[in-house]
Amino acid sequence: MRVTALAGGFGGARFLAGVVAEGHEVTAVVNTGDDLWLHGLKVCPDLDTVMYTLGGGISAERGWGREGETFAVSGELAAYGFGPAWFGLGDRDLATHLIRTQLLEAGQSLTDVTAALCARWRPGVTLLPMTDDRVETHVVVDDPETGTRHAIHFQEWWVRHRAALPAHAIVPVGAEEAKPTPAVLQAISDAEIVLLPPSNPVVSIGTVLAVPGIRDALLAADARIVGVSPIVGGSPVRGMAAECLTAIGVETSAQGVAAHYGARSAGGLLDGWLVDSSDPCEVEGIAVGALPLLMTDLDATRAIVRAAIAL
Amino acid sequence: MRVTALAGGFGGARFLAGVVAEGHEVTAVVNTGDDLWLHGLKVCPDLDTVMYTLGGGISAERGWGREGETFAVSGELAAYGFGPAWFGLGDRDLATHLIRTQLLEAGQSLTDVTAALCARWRPGVTLLPMTDDRVETHVVVDDPETGTRHAIHFQEWWVRHRAALPAHAIVPVGAEEAKPTPAVLQAISDAEIVLLPPSNPVVSIGTVLAVPGIRDALLAADARIVGVSPIVGGSPVRGMAAECLTAIGVETSAQGVAAHYGARSAGGLLDGWLVDSSDPCEVEGIAVGALPLLMTDLDATRAIVRAAIAL
């Protein structure tokens, strides 16, 4: 089946592994709002997490970055007093950013650069950045030292502060002026089914949807759109999604996220919504399915994928 | 004493360590013709060799790059198929290039960037690039595969081919349009003595002298100019200087190099010339001193420095 999925990093990558294992032809439209320039290098955390996970290079322990990673360069940058120290820039990972930066500076699009990197990793999916334009998610917080309200890069909020600073707003800076790539629009219109993996509904899926044209393309698509809830037993499976949902006034529950995405019949996105067995959910116009949603291993993930497609 | 020295990498760095140990106030005017852009990063081999050597970070075994170096990034670049594989870009070393590139791209001069890097290494000398402009030494060779005559970057000739391809010409590309920095001219005019360490007379000292204005500043300086021969027992102390001398038609001997630099009284550079005891040398107008010139340890190097200054 031709599957197009919107995706963030960790959850999206795991889910996509299940979709690939089920033998589908997959295109992943990946959030680039987490991207940042670090030491003059373009870093794309979500694209890389998906690429490394599906290509067999991910650190199984951390869920981001490379297996067998070393941090010699970071240690040296710190010795020079060049921050930020909070971003774990591994040596192996850095080679990816060096190549990406060079190719971008040579005038290639992020889409083409991603394809060039995937020529090594062979992730088994077509990996597409949501846009070739620059979008950077920022979070409005009160500075813990001074109390001043200001915006910081999403990565600084997420990695440095571990989302512990209350977020007054989460803004995908540049999204309004960004354009989805032709490849993204094509993948959505060509899809036989569109899946929303259990990625962060705000800073992953939400950022993809913030690129003008993507939501319209989804609404216009022939394919059904089925989402998989990122909530299990009332809390996010991984990390700090609750803080993001709170920031945009959405309840951290399968019901809350479903209502946020909305029923397609009522101008929203979802035809179907897969929730964990422990999270009852009912939204008018959305077909709801329930099963255990923890992606504990590939078999569990494949079962989730099958259930989502069956919906 | 206020000493200004022109310098390349390995030989210059060792010699400068002796000058510093003798308690002099040293400014080093360093060749930047070996510099290259690699993976989008500005690499300055001679500046770094001097900085690392005098700052205690050099690999004692290799004489270039960092002690305790690892090569994770290079390994990954190769796995992506991104060359060149022949340049040993270490992880620790790479941090220096990342910072340098960022600061250059932020608009700082190479002189200022070098000072910023030296804030960490505290080499004990004022380290000045010969120019803030781009100069890249190229070597005209016959391609070993095709036989076609073409120019390659000095580093490719030196590191990849180990200078084994006969050089038809050695050209410091960009030197004619380059300007010495005000700091370089000041260091030359303020010097109480100018030393030419036993660096490569062609691609190190020769490249510095190829920047218009530097030779004139030396000729106009009040200070005496004393050179130390890079030849010991009829051959270069280190590596492949003979190939460079041959390329410009200079005999590989203490006598040949002295004649190439020339007597200051005859429009050349040298007031004094220090040769190895085994290399007799006589040039009209140049005071010649002789002692063992192998810089086997710091004490030997200090003795050479004292002899050069005494000349």
CA of A93 vs chain B CAs: smallest distance (Å): 8
Both tokens assigned to B201: 């007379």
Note the pLDDT tens digit of each residue in A59-91: 988 888 999 999 999 999 999 999 788 888 999
User: What pLDDT shows up at residue A16?
Assistant: 96
For residues B225 and B264, the answer to whether their CB atoms sit within 8 Å is yes
CB-CB under 8 Å, A95 with B77: yes
User: What pLDDT shows up at residue A296?
Assistant: 87
The mean-pLDDT minimum among A231-240, A247-256, B262-271 falls in A231-240
Asked if B235 is an interface residue toward chain A (Cβ–Cβ < 8 A), one would say: no
CATH code, residues A35-127: 1.10.8.240
Domain residue spans of chain B: 1-34+128-311, 35-127
Best of A98, A102, A103, A113 to mutate (most B CBs within 10 Å, chain B): A98
Asked if B120 is an interface residue toward chain A (Cβ–Cβ < 8 A), one would say: yes
Closest in B39, B94, B105 to A73, CB measured: B94
Best of B69, B73, B104 to mutate (most A CBs within 10 Å, chain A): B73
Mean pLDDT of chain A: 94
- List all residues 6 or more positions away from B107 whose beta carbon is below 8 Å from its beta carbon: none
Asked if A38 is an interface residue toward chain B (Cβ–Cβ < 8 A), one would say: no
Examine the pLDDT at B238 and tell me if it is beyond 80.
Answer: no
With residue B124 as reference, give the H or E element that holds it.
none
Which A residues 57-76 touch B at CB under 8 Å? 70, 72-76
- Output the CA–CA distances (angstroms, integers) from residue A42 to A96, A211, A267, in the order listed: 9, 20, 36
Examine the pLDDT at B239 and tell me if it is beyond 80.
Answer: no
Examine the pLDDT at A110 and tell me if it is beyond 80.
Answer: yes
Write down the architecture of domain B1-34+128-311 according to CATH: 3-Layer(aba) Sandwich (3.40)
The CA angle A162-A95-A207, to the nearest 5 degrees, is 45
Asked if B104 is an interface residue toward chain A (Cβ–Cβ < 8 A), one would say: no
User: What pLDDT shows up at residue B134?
Assistant: 95
Give the model's confidence band at B90: pLDDT under 50 very low, under 70 low, under 90 confident, else very high: very high
Kindly identify which residue of chain B lies nearest to residue A77, measuring between CA atoms. Answer: B95
Residues of A in contact with B74 (CB under 8 A): 95
Give the model's confidence band at A239: pLDDT under 50 very low, under 70 low, under 90 confident, else very high: low
User: What pLDDT shows up at residue B59?
Assistant: 93
Under 8 Å CB pairs connecting chains A and B tally to 84
CA of A40 vs chain B CAs: smallest distance (Å): 6
The mean-pLDDT minimum among A6-20, A227-241, B120-134, B175-189 falls in A227-241
Asked if B82 is an interface residue toward chain A (Cβ–Cβ < 8 A), one would say: yes
Residues of B in contact with A39 (CB under 8 A): 98-99, 102
Asked if A81 is an interface residue toward chain B (Cβ–Cβ < 8 A), one would say: yes
Instruction: Write the DSSP string, A65-128.
Output: SBTT---HHHHHHHHTT-S-TTS---HHHHHHHHHHHHHHHTT--HHHHHHHHHHHH--SSEEE
Residues of A in contact with B70 (CB under 8 A): 70, 72, 91
First CA to last CA distance, chain A: 14
CB-CB under 8 Å, A70 with B91: yes
Integer Cα distance of B305 and B15 in angstroms: 8
User: What pLDDT shows up at residue B296?
Assistant: 87
Kindly identify which residue of chain A lies nearest to residue B42, measuring between CA atoms. Answer: A40
Both tokens assigned to B136: 């890249």
CA of B98 vs chain A CAs: smallest distance (Å): 6
What mean pLDDT do residues B246-263 have? 94
Asked if B177 is an interface residue toward chain A (Cβ–Cβ < 8 A), one would say: no
Sign of the C-alpha dihedral computed for residues B200, B201, B205 and B208 taken in this order? negative
Note the pLDDT tens digit of each residue in A23-68: 999 999 999 999 999 999 999 999 999 999 999 999 988 888 999 9
What mean pLDDT do residues A94-123 have? 97
Closest in A94, A101, A102 to B73, CB measured: A94
Asked if B103 is an interface residue toward chain A (Cβ–Cβ < 8 A), one would say: no
Closest in B72, B82, B98 to A40, CB measured: B98
Examine the pLDDT at B146 and tell me if it is beyond 70.
Answer: yes
CB-CB under 8 Å, A80 with B73: no
CA of A159 vs chain B CAs: smallest distance (Å): 22
CB-CB under 8 Å, A98 with B41: yes
Closest in B77, B96, B105 to A98, CB measured: B77
Asked if B220 is an interface residue toward chain A (Cβ–Cβ < 8 A), one would say: no
Based on DSSP, count helices (H) and strands (E) in chain B, helices before strands: 12, 14
Examine the pLDDT at B277 and tell me if it is beyond 70.
Answer: yes
Asked if B80 is an interface residue toward chain A (Cβ–Cβ < 8 A), one would say: yes
Give the model's confidence band at A225: pLDDT under 50 very low, under 70 low, under 90 confident, else very high: very high
